[in-house]
Amino acid sequence: MEKKLQVFMESGLLDSYILGTTTPDENLEVESYIAEFPEVEAEYERLQDNLEILAKAHTVEAPKYILNAVIKEITDDVPVIPLPSPPTHSRAPWFSIAASIAALIFGGLSYLLYEQNISLALENQVVVDEIFDLRSDIENNNNKLENVMLQFMKLNNPETEKYVLRGNSRAKNLKTVAYINAVDKTSMIDVVSLPKLPENQTYQIWAELQDRMVNLGILDESERNKLRTIPYMEDALGLSITIEPKSGSKINNTHNENSVAEVTLKN
């Protein structure tokens, strides 16, 4: 039974099931394993959490111009052009009157057709522009999806270690999660929550080496739930988050006083 479970866990079916790329038969097989084995259920929940992190990290709002274009298309009315009444002459021959009426009708129809052709040409151009925009959006979304899948694979790599940094008394609600893979030499961080700071201060993340501290960048509230890459530091002993002035920071004896979150890395 344990060998059967091990074969299933190494098959990659669970990852494919999370990403929605399995067949109906494979879906039944995965679901039966989830129902039967607590280990599979726990791994399934972990993969779901990771996928949720990635979904939040790549959330994109719909462009505002689409809604405005739809509203304009619904509310715009086609102008009605009244036809002028033909002049009446009591003594004009009937065929002159008929010819005048026909000329007016023909002129009015020609003008309407001309206006409609211009309107259709403009609409066609708008459609062509929107098609190009949609193609560009599809290409961008495909690139983002590819990045999401790559990040998903990195998160679920057995070599990737997860480290949670929680704030101390100076930043009680601070929480960030670091993902470090020493084999691929990659580091990513997910900013879960950051307490608000005064305008002249920032949060900064540091790597602790044997003989010095290395600045890995600034953490901002606007990056909340956005998984991003940070520099990978070889032989780092730990990570720490400090509160520093925006004017600049220097590693000195006060570094420990500025620290609000720390975590020790596995060797």
Q: Kindly report, residue by residue over 72-129, the tens digit of the pLDDT.
A: 655 655 555 665 555 554 444 555 666 667 777 777 777 778 777 787 777 777 777 7
Tell me the per-residue pLDDT of 135-182, one tens digit each, with 9 for 90 and over. Answer: 777 877 777 776 777 777 777 788 888 999 998 988 888 999 999 988
pLDDT band at 263 (very low <50, low <70, confident <90, very high): very high
Report the chain's mean pLDDT, rounded to a whole number.
78
Q: Is the pLDDT of residue 240 over 90?
A: yes
Q: Is the pLDDT of residue 253 over 50?
A: no
The per-residue pLDDT for 239 is 93
Of 166, 217, 215, nearest in space to 195 by CA: 166
For 183-201, give one letter per residue: b (16+ CB within 10 A) or e. eeebbbbbbbebeeeeeee
The whole-model pTM stands at 0.53
With a pLDDT cut of 90, the percent of the chain lying above it is 13
Q: Is the pLDDT of residue 31 over 80?
A: yes
The per-residue pLDDT for 96 is 61
pLDDT band at 254 (very low <50, low <70, confident <90, very high): very low
The domain spans of the chain are 2-57, 64-153, 160-264
pLDDT band at 227 (very low <50, low <70, confident <90, very high): confident
Residue 213: other Cβ atoms inside 10 A: 16
The per-residue pLDDT for 237 is 92
The per-residue pLDDT for 220 is 86
For 122-141, give one letter per residue: b (16+ CB within 10 A) or e. eeeeeeeeeeeeeeeeeeee
Percentages of the chain per state (helix, strand, coil), in multiples of 5: 50, 20, 30
DSSP state string for 71-106: HHHHHPPPPP-PPPPPP--TTS-HHHHHHHHHHHHH
Q: How many helices (H) and strands (E) does the chain have?
A: 7, 8
Instruction: Specify whether the CB–CB gap between 211 and 251 falls below 8 A.
Output: no
Q: How many residues does the chain have?
A: 267
Cα separations in angstroms, 245 against 180, 200, 204, 250: 27, 6, 10, 10
For β-strands 175-181 and 186-193, DSSP reports them as antiparallel
Q: Compare 218 and 6 and report the one with higher pLDDT.
A: 218
CA atoms of 53 and 27, how far apart (whole Å): 23
Q: Is the pLDDT of residue 3 over 90?
A: no
Instruction: Specify whether the CB–CB gap between 239 and 265 falls below 8 A.
Output: yes
Residue type, 28: L
